[in-house]
Structure 1
Amino acid sequence: MKKTILTSTLLLMAIAVFAQWKDKEYYVEKDPKVQQKLEDWKDLKLGFMVHWGAYSVEGLCESWPIVSEDVEWLTPHKDIQAFRKHYFNLATKFNPTEFKPSDWADLAEDMGAKYFIFTTKHHDGFTMWDTKQTDFKITNPKYPYAKSKHADITGELFNAMRKKHMMIGAYLSKPDWHHPKYWTPSFDAATRNVNYKISRHPEWWKDYTDFFYKQVEELMTQYGDVDILWLDGAWATKTNRGQDMKMDEVGEMCRKHQPGILVVDRWIGGRWENYRTPEQHIPSESDNTPWESNMTVNCCFSYRFVDSPETRVKSSRELTHKLVDVVSKGGNFLINLGASPQGWFNQKEIESVQGLGQWLKLNGKAIYETRAIAPFGEANVRYTKAKDNSKVYAIVLLSEGEQMKKAMLPGCLVAKGATVRDIATGKRVRFSQQGNATLIDMPKKKGVGHYAVAFEISKVERMAGKKYGMSQDAIDAVNRNK
């Protein structure tokens, strides 16, 4: 059986979509509860995302193998109809007997994550909670895992993560390729889109949007406090073949049951995209709108069996550098792991995210509850600031084996008489002014501490980089607290 392989072509497509989406005006939600939730979310910086479903039984890419489109990043099947039947039948074999929600929550805590996004249903329609809207669900009595005490996987995970004081996010696909009123058996399901003309069959489309509404309502009413509804499947929108998902009705229903909830109708823009979600890449510059880079630890969002060049695992150092880069530009970082058919994760990926978590235990002060500050970063240095403007943080990124006695902080002129401390140890370090920059003594580091060295600066005289400047008012806001 051939597997779908996501290549760099898909990444380029995501970047292109993100570029178009950035041009859309960002809607500033006026609801004070939403504003507060968004500010709280900005404090968290690191999220844990998991893609999991019946597709993990064979280590397949999530959902996409059942689509027949003439694009570079899908491997075509000679008999797509036969493959779809095989794919949907994987639900009868999905039996994650090693799944322990508390272990997942422990891992999230170990990696330093502060919020959790779970794929309650991907595009293939297999529902990971006890929905009443379809039998294509993890709790179907005909499926092997239905007898487990953890059978309602979504509820079990949400409860476990709440015990770790995580924000809770429900990923949900707007399109559902298993539903007979999205891909009707009357016509060939050739592409990701609805496979009939909605104008000719409005009653079918109403059945489908009612189904979607009811599934969202179940998540909003049966699973405790939900902080984020993370919607995927941007092609299901009224500007594309009339696929109107009635998002005003859906969003208002969510806010009725979950006041202040963040709704992320990704790539769409407007009222129901409360923050933006570039995928598998980090924007080259800072963005004032709330945003989150979601990225995999290996090549793919779903679980992979084979350790091959395709499944290269990002190292702890690499993840640390990406997190620092994202946060310096004002974003959050959402790290994805794909869960195995047994209910756990690849050991190499576990070790990688745990290494990131160990670095955060030492240096998290420069990450959590911070905000971006120009010049954001130059060369191997990134900057953040405390959200109350009381401190500036400089983070020096180090490559494997790199040893530095001194480091230049470009664009950051530390004020004379200021205090600079190594955050990991609390020890003061010496510095000197060098033009518009600062030369700083580098403490010796090893292990996870060597990924990057974070410094706390009590007072800056000036911050201005090659591309960006910092107003005197902003500098004064930092300094007046000292």
Structure 2
Amino acid sequence: MKIKIYFLFCLMLFVYRSSAQQNDIMPQSEIYEWPKDAAVKQKLETWQDKKFGMIIHWGLYAVPGIIESWSICSEDWIERDSTIKYEDYKKWYWGQSEKFNPTKFNPEQWAKAGKDAGMKYLVFTTKHHDGFAMFDTKQSDFSVAKGPFSANAKKDVAKYVFDAFRKENFMIGAYFSKPDWHSQYYWWDKYATANRNNNYDIRKNPWRWNMFKSYTQNQIAELMNNYGSIDILWLDGGWVRPRASVNQEVLSWGAPIPEWSQDVDMPKIADMARKAQPGLIMVDRTVHGQFENYQTPEQKIPEKQLDYPWESCMTLGGAWGFVPNDQYKSAAEVVHKLVEIVAKGGSLLLGVGPKADGTLPDDVIKKLEEIGQWTSKNGTAIYGTRITKNYHDGQNWFTQSKDGKTVYGISFIDKAAVNEISWQGSSPKKGTPITILTTNQKVKWTLKDGKVHFNLPKTDEKIALTFSFTPETK
């Protein structure tokens, strides 16, 4: 009888421990947490005026023109040449550091292209998951400043990128990957590297993980102290986090969740970073809470309006970095996404990848110019605006000025099929006109069956037509 009771006790203990282990990774609240620091709030308000940014992925992966970093991660969704052993592939990939010599490095070209497109802020990849630093770090020899490019006056790449974009009045963001697959403190050669997580039990090797924490904190400190004014610290690799903070988004990735906590001490990082950069916007992606000052849905747009700061980060082509023969979105598609995102309260962070030589592909520059032809004429309805309650009806999207005195209607047009514009739910004040933003032409409108109606004016616009009007107040 005692044996049975003991067995039952052990079984209950096992169930309890298993349940507790699962409970510590139950999805946490995803409610946005507003920052308490007044300087952060002010910078966040300034950032929310910008609406349109450029994220640049550039690193070793540009040499062979492949997906950024991920090809060296051994997960079942990643495709590699099946004739090459995994360890040999990693050696080949690391070896690209001996070939990466971007002698045509031209950050001024990038900044001009971004400005021409109407972009207002930058996020530059200072280090992706592969650990190859695009700045002159003192924590590792695995950087652009230590390879063939080391003799070049611009070897400290991040410095010259940030300087070029500052001259064009961009807000400056530093992308930094929390995981580092090249570091022996993260992917230890003692063990295989099965997936994106660190490959050793942190509980059994606390010294090694503490070394990784110091390494991470020191690299971020270099960026915060040696590269001028930084507005945004954009942290990627959301699986590196306290285990208790794992949420539904992380679980949806399908990657294994280690039994240990990959905690790099974000409070310490934030305190250090904001001492160097007062008011710094922290973006600890997917780790919702006090260190994710705005959220970053990737390659998608939320279904509905959100009342907290956010951005959709998505690619101009099919890849984040440079890939030969990439297929790029049309200017119309990008503008339509930008308009929808802004009407829903967010910003668009559009991804481009320079070639291995340090220049943007001609097709990218052309696309950005085409986008800029629209933003340069219609930007009043985008920049510095805020959401309005009635923000969408069919092909019509609405924003408003901060003071609420002007509403902007942006209509996606198909000239071959439409000769009248109508919408419901956002009416001008009676007796006031609707004004075409680009020409200042006044348009008469009527209200019928609860809808605003007016004839489509003669225009050469092929993407979207923008109107302004004084809203009806109730």
**TM-score, normalised relative to structure 2:** 0.89
Q: Which residue of 2 aligns with 1:286?
A: 305
Q: Out of 240, 261, 269, which is 1:242 matched to?
A: 261
User: Is residue 286–residue 296 contact of structure 2 (8 Å, CA) maintained in 1?
Assistant: yes
Instruction: Give the deviation of 1:345 after TM superposition.
Output: 2.1
Q: Which residue of 2 aligns with 1:256?
A: 275
Instruction: Give the deviation of 1:75 after TM superposition.
Output: 4.1
| Counterpart AA for 1:169 | G
Query: Take 1:314 and 1:169, find their aligned partners in 2: how far apart are those partners?
Result: 24
Instruction: Give the deviation of 1:347 after TM superposition.
Output: 2.1
Q: Which residue of 1 aligns with 2:465?
A: 453
| Counterpart AA for 1:417 | G
Cα offsets for 1:366-424 (capped at 9, x unmatched): 0000011122112100000001212000000124x535322002212222111311101
Q: Which residue of 2 aligns with 1:148?
A: 152
1:385 partnered with 2:424: no
Query: Take 1:260 and 1:313, find their aligned partners in 2: how far apart are those partners?
Result: 35
Instruction: Give the deviation of 1:285 after TM superposition.
Output: 0.8
Instruction: Give the deviation of 1:104 after TM superposition.
Output: 1.2
Residues 22 and 375 (structure 1), Cα distance of their counterparts in 2 relative to 1, 3 Å cut: farther
- Where does 1:9-408 land on structure 2 (aligned, <5 Å)? 24-70=30-76, 72-75=77-80, 77=82, 78-140=84-146, 143-239=147-243, 241-305=260-324, 307=325, 311-399=326-414, 401-408=415-422
Cα offsets for 1:33-92 (capped at 9, x unmatched): 01111110000000011100011000011110001112x354474411000000011011
User: Is residue 57–residue 320 contact of structure 2 (8 Å, CA) maintained in 1?
Assistant: yes
User: Is residue 422–residue 429 contact of structure 1 (8 Å, CA) maintained in 2?
Assistant: yes
Query: Take 2:27 and 2:387, find their aligned partners in 1: how far apart are those partners?
Result: 22
Query: Take 1:86 and 1:377, find their aligned partners in 2: how far apart are those partners?
Result: 50
1:432 partnered with 2:438: no
Moved more, 350-359 or 329-338: 350-359
Instruction: Give the deviation of 1:97 after TM superposition.
Output: 1.5
Q: Which residue of 2 aligns with 1:444?
A: 458
Cα offsets for 1:214-258 (capped at 9, x unmatched): 000000000010000000001111205310110000011111110
Instruction: Give the deviation of 1:435 after TM superposition.
Output: 2.9
SS in 1 for 2:337: helix
Query: Take 2:32 and 2:444, find their aligned partners in 1: how far apart are those partners?
Result: 43
How many residues of Structure 1 are paired with residues of Structure 2 in the alignment?
433
Residues 451 and 165 (structure 1), Cα distance of their counterparts in 2 relative to 1, 3 Å cut: same
User: Is residue 110–residue 360 contact of structure 2 (8 Å, CA) maintained in 1?
Assistant: no
| Counterpart AA for 1:381 | N
Q: Which residue of 2 aligns with 1:14?
A: none
SS in 1 for 2:427: strand
1:416 partnered with 2:422: no
Residues 214 and 342 (structure 1), Cα distance of their counterparts in 2 relative to 1, 3 Å cut: same
Structure 1: segments with no counterpart, 5+ residues:
1-19, 462-474, 477-482
User: Is residue 320–residue 451 contact of structure 1 (8 Å, CA) maintained in 2?
Assistant: yes
| Counterpart AA for 1:387 | K
Cα offsets for 1:244-293 (capped at 9, x unmatched): 11000001111111010000000010110000000011111111121000
Q: Which residue of 1 aligns with 2:4?
A: none
Structure 1 vs Structure 2 CA RMSD: 1.5
| Counterpart AA for 2:159 | G
User: Is residue 21–residue 268 contact of structure 1 (8 Å, CA) maintained in 2?
Assistant: no
Query: Take 2:438 and 2:373, find their aligned partners in 1: how far apart are those partners?
Result: 11
Q: Which residue of 1 aligns with 2:6?
A: none
Residues 286 and 23 (structure 1), Cα distance of their counterparts in 2 relative to 1, 3 Å cut: farther
User: Is residue 187–residue 195 contact of structure 1 (8 Å, CA) maintained in 2?
Assistant: yes
SS in 1 for 2:53: strand
Moved more, 409-418 or 26-35: 409-418
Query: Take 1:382 and 1:397, find their aligned partners in 2: how far apart are those partners?
Result: 8
Query: Take 1:328 and 1:21, find their aligned partners in 2: how far apart are those partners?
Result: 29
Query: Take 1:60 and 1:334, find their aligned partners in 2: how far apart are those partners?
Result: 21
SS in 1 for 2:54: strand
Query: Take 1:21 and 1:256, find their aligned partners in 2: how far apart are those partners?
Result: 32
SS in 1 for 2:126: strand
Q: Percent identity?
A: 38
Moved more, 408-417 or 25-34: 408-417
Residues 290 and 76 (structure 1), Cα distance of their counterparts in 2 relative to 1, 3 Å cut: farther
